[in-house]
Amino acid sequence: MVALAQRVTTAAWEISAHTLAQGELDESRLAESSNALSMMLARGEAADEGNGTVDIRMGTTADCLILKIVRGGGDANLTLSYGNAGADTKCRALQWMIRIDDYPMPLTGAWASY
């Protein structure tokens, strides 16, 4: 579980670094921006829902964590939010390990530094 938490945060930072380096973002190709995300998808730990949304699975919860690219006003931000863990103790433990207070993470626009 700790390894998955590390992969989630690593994926977020890799996507951010790749976007800042390239100066653009293609939500349909997020896995190409992050080795950690590619690994989670290959292992079945995550599902690419399209449109810049990736659900991270833990325990019996398919969307324990939700990594999403949100666009608005010329900006693109990476958000990480909690899904509905319900009584799933494994999902709740994973959520406890991830600080969503650090998100949204600016990727493009006025708040992103190139």
11-53 pLDDT per residue, tens: 999 999 999 888 888 888 899 999 999 999 999 999 999 989 9
In a domain, 53, yes or no: yes
Domain count, the chain: 1
Which residue, 68, 64, 63, is CA-closest to 78?
68
Answer yes or no: is 114 within a domain. Answer: no
Rounded to whole angstroms, the Cα distance separating 97 from 88 reads 15
| pLDDT at residue 69 is higher than 90 | yes
Q: Which has the closest alpha carbon to 77: 32, 36, 20, 35? A: 20
Question: 50 lies in which domain range?
Answer: 2-108
Is 104 a domain residue? Answer: yes
Contacts of 111 (CB under 8 A, 6+ apart): 75
Among 67, 60, 64, CA closest to 92? 64
51 belongs to a structural domain: yes
In-domain check, residue 68 = yes
Strand, helix or coil for residue 71:
strand
- pTM, two decimal places: 0.90
- Rounded to an integer, the average pLDDT of 85-106 is 92
Residue 113, pLDDT score: 54
